[in-house]
Amino acid sequence: MLDYLSASAGASGTQQLMGFLPIVGMIVIFWFLILRPQMKRQKEHQQKVQGVKRGDQVVTGGGLVGKIVKVDDVYVEVELAQGVKVKAVKQTITDVLTPGGTPAND
């Protein structure tokens, strides 16, 4: 009788472990397919924004394209057109355009 109880307790523990295995597998897949690439993109964006300098052409979060005139720790001053300058939070810069790129309407 005692052997039967200990054997069923061992099998029950193994069954519980096998029940958690798919959940652990889904967490691992979720991590590698979604969270890890997102963190990588976020890190690249942060490095790009921190490396912005005067003269770079940028796109803001609102879709405005302009040239950086002044860089501060938190803010940047973006010239949208000749004589039109706006102050933007550095983290709202979505992209730094490559020099030599042609505007879409030219």
Decide which of 104 and 69 is more confident: 69
User: Distance (Å, rounded) from C-alpha 72 to C-alpha 61?
Assistant: 18
- Asked if 21 and 59 sit in the same domain, the reply is no
Range of the domain at 90: 53-97
The single-letter DSSP state of residue 67 is E
The domain that contains 87 carries what CATH number? Answer: 2.30.30
pLDDT tens-place string over residues 48-68:
889 999 999 999 998 999 999
Kindly report whether the global pTM for this prediction surpasses the value 0.75. Answer: no
Res 3 pLDDT > 60: no
- Does residue 65 fall inside a structural domain? yes
Residues 6 or more apart in contact with residue 58 via CB below 8 angstroms: 52, 65, 66, 67, 68, 76, 78, 93, 95, 96, 97
- The Cβ of residue 78 has, within 10 Å, a number of other Cβ atoms equal to 24
